[in-house]
Amino acid sequence: MTFLEEVKRRRTFAIISHPDAGKTTLTEKLLLYGGAIHLAGSVKSRKTQKYAVSDWMEIEKQRGISVTSSVLQFDYDGCRVNILDTPGHQDFSEDTYRTLMAADSAVMLIDVAKGVEAQTKKLFAVCKERGIPIFTFVNKIDHFGRNPFDLMEEIENSLGIRAVPMNWPVGINGEYQGIYDRETHTVDLFAKDETHGQQKLASTKESVDDPAFRELLGEEVHQSLIDDIELLDVAGDEFDFERVRAGELTPMFFGSAMTNFGVKPFLEKFLSLAPSPAPRKALEETVEATSEDFSAFVFKIQANMNPNHHDRIVFMRICSGKFEKGMSVLHRQSGKSIRLAQPQQFLATERTIIDEAYPGDIIGVFDAGTMGVGDTLCASNHKVTFGDFPIFPPEFFARVSPKDTMKRKQFQKGMTQLAQEGAVQIFEQPHSMDSFIVGAVGMLQFEVLQYRLRNEYGVEPITDSLPYSVARWVKGDVDIKQLKGLDNAMAVKDNRGRTVILISNEWQMGWVVERNPDVVFLETPTLNEEV
């Protein structure tokens, strides 16, 4: 294949949803169809030890939730598919936001019974802000759920985007029997098959007008389908990819990830519609995916994917140019040349050493601590810098220290590495060597931090909550001692040496801002922004 053909066949997308909408299960079924796994492990199948393939961390297997993004790749129908499976829990939303930076499109998963939920709204807003086309998969239609027309209305009212159903569930009041394809005007009926949790086609590609099909469905169900189709054709939106790209329209699919109901039709249609790698804005220029000059950015770092070796893997999204094993690239932040040895692609913890990769691909490389989230790698003869990686202000704070002071070295290493991942934010107080101030978006992050310090670094942590809920970065060179109104606040330094004010609530922060009119306080500096 030529370079351009390789670029055009890439599909890189993130799956986003509220917790428990079935996101990890859908990911596994997509892998199943891609031949990447032979037995999909349900996140609920704990008794049989069939853990979800995309949940690699031990705490994920124990809790049955995703707490970190997974990167998964496979080939299907001529496409090279890169799936970014993100945590649904709001406490890990920062990891999800960063991962969305690496996606060209997103699949928004909605529970048919619950509709659009709070976390879905937040993630949708990020996608829309960044111009990421969104495809909607309404999940769990094998259970009783809401009327499809009601869901379409809720999507429009809650998210401000119109939905265009690409298929339609056949049945009444949640008792669905199949999927109607609006493009081919045919219906696939499904019958349950207990082997591997799959569904076998009981009747394929029946015309909705076939008398035998009417008899098979029953008069009431058949008439309901005819009425729904007519309403969609007359009053519904037509598919328009330019409107999808502009964030005005979302293609809508129905199915059940747990039972494979409608998953294969969704995968095939999605891959035909989803965009190939898109151009990326850099500070100097817009980088075209078809450019042969290499560029990439780091969007994720994961320590201890192999606990036995305490490795540190840097995940990067290739934006342009062909990647070749062993190539040397320029690390823009340090100005150093780095040789990218042992590049890997992933199926959760299963790694494959690769020789080459193309724009849209996600690869992992070993790193000793040089690179950070948001960093740019590029060809030395064509320098670009990707920016706009947000830091999200933490809302919960604690002082964390080692119970055994003799393990200070392991403690500092663990805290530093986990902070580099973005699992938490750490701050330092002057003259405090035995503890860190830790900031988190959600309380569950503290639990994960404690678990990983204990199990990956052999350190028993002591965590003491602090009475702060607001963090603000101080812009410029300001003498903190001269600031007014900081009696009940704490001044700390972040991992880049920038001054941060921790204070109890927004009202008090407003009072501090009012008392110091010449000082600029930033809520969300970017990783590439020098405060």
Annotated binding residues for GTP, as ranges? 17-24, 85-89
Separation CA 137–CA 21 (nearest Å): 10
424 contacts 449 by C-beta, under 8 angstroms: yes
Contact between 123 and 16 (Cβ < 8 Å): yes
The angle that helices 263-273 and 23-33 make with each other, rounded to 10 degrees, is 80
Beta bridge partners of 81: 11, 74
Distance CA(137)–CA(445), nearest Å, equals 28
Which residues does 44 contact at the CB level (< 8 Å), separation at least 6? Answer: 64
Show the CA angle centred on residue 100, arms to residues 385 and 367, nearest 5°.
Answer: 55
Q: Please, which residues bridge with residue 192 across strands?
A: 199
The answer to whether 52 and 88 are in contact (CB under 8 A) is no
| CB atoms near residue 344 (< 10 Å) | 17
H/E run at residue 164 = strand 162-165
- What's CA 174's distance to the chain center, in Å? 30
Is the separation of the CB atoms in 371 and 407 below 8 Å?
A: no
Helix axes 408-421, 444-456, angle to 10 degrees: 130
Q: Distance between CA atoms of 377 and 339, rounded to whole angstroms?
A: 11
With a CB cutoff of 8 Å and minimum separation 6, the contacts of 98 are 69, 299, 300, 373, 389, 422
Task: Characterize the bridge pairing of strands 328-331 and 376-378.
Answer: antiparallel
How do strand 499-503 and strand 470-474 relate by DSSP bridges? antiparallel
DSSP for residue 196: G
Give how far Cα 521 sits from Cα of 505, 513, 515, Å. 14, 7, 12
296, 318 in Cβ contact below 8 A? Answer: yes
Pick the closest to residue 338 from 365, 304, 306 (CA basis): 365
DSSP for 263-325, please give it: HHHHHHHHHHHS--PPPEEBSSSEEPTT-SS-EEEEEEEEE-SSTTTT-EEEEEEEEES-EET
Q: Given the structure tokens 């294949």, which residue do they identify?
A: 1
Residue numbers in the known binding site are 17-24, 85-89
